[in-house]
Amino acid sequence: MNGANGTMTKEAAREMISGALMSDDPQAFFRSVDEQHPCAPYLAPLLALRGVPQNPEYHPEGDAFEHTMQVLERAARERSRAQQPHMFMMSALTHDLGKAVCTRRNEKGAWASIGHDTEGAKIAFRWLQSLGYPVEEAMYSNNMCRLHMRVHQCYRDHMKLKKTEKLFMEAYYPEDLILLAACDTGGKGDGIAV
């Protein structure tokens, strides 16, 4: 489980992450990881969300890490509905990784994370590849990260059927994408049902 110098191997970290994702309470593990935890170096993209501010108008739950934990909690309750349960849970964990690099104050002084979906997709892919996850899992998370905001936009802007169909044609698993967007919306401490 540990490397020659007593550090955790990426294989052990990957097993720990995957085990946590498929547990009944995955957010408990990720919340428990501090800088001293042996898995911490392997969770750097996720831990970078701690303290990343969000606009309280849309995210009353707090920072980007807290939001991700609430999305993960909802996703655990819904994963049996996903076509790819493990990959679905990984996408819940990675869907907002881009907020760590994209969050800035906008022209009105409010926190915004413009482009976090596309940047996050790249980060998720690189991170999962570095941990040794199969390429299809990295591609699934990349796809879900990249598209999750477009689902919200379709709903908010009452997009025409043709644009909505185009979005779902791009999704590897459209039903999983809709489920992730519902968990993302519900991951704000507001009790919205999925």
**Which tops the pLDDT comparison, 150 or 182?**
182
The pLDDT of residue 58 = 83
Query: At 165, is the pLDDT very low, low, confident or very high (cuts 50, 70, 90)?
Result: confident
**How wide is the angle at C-alpha 22 spanned by C-alphas 194 and 145, nearest 5°?**
60
- Please, what is the average pLDDT of the chain? 89
Strand blocks (E) in 2-121: 104-105, 111-112
- DSSP bridge pairs for 2: 8
Prediction pTM value: 0.89
The pLDDT of residue 192 = 44
Over range 81-106, report the average pLDDT. 96
Among 91-105, 118-132, 135-149, 180-194, the minimum mean pLDDT is found in 180-194
Coil, helix or strand for 111? Answer: strand
pLDDT over 90 for what percent of the chain? 70
The pLDDT of residue 186 = 79
Over range 56-62, report the average pLDDT. 86
The pLDDT of residue 191 = 46
With a cut of 70, say whether residue 6 has pLDDT above it.
no
The pLDDT of residue 95 = 95
With a cut of 70, say whether residue 99 has pLDDT above it.
yes
d(CA 32, CA 27): 8
**How wide is the angle at C-alpha 151 spanned by C-alphas 164 and 128, nearest 5°?**
120
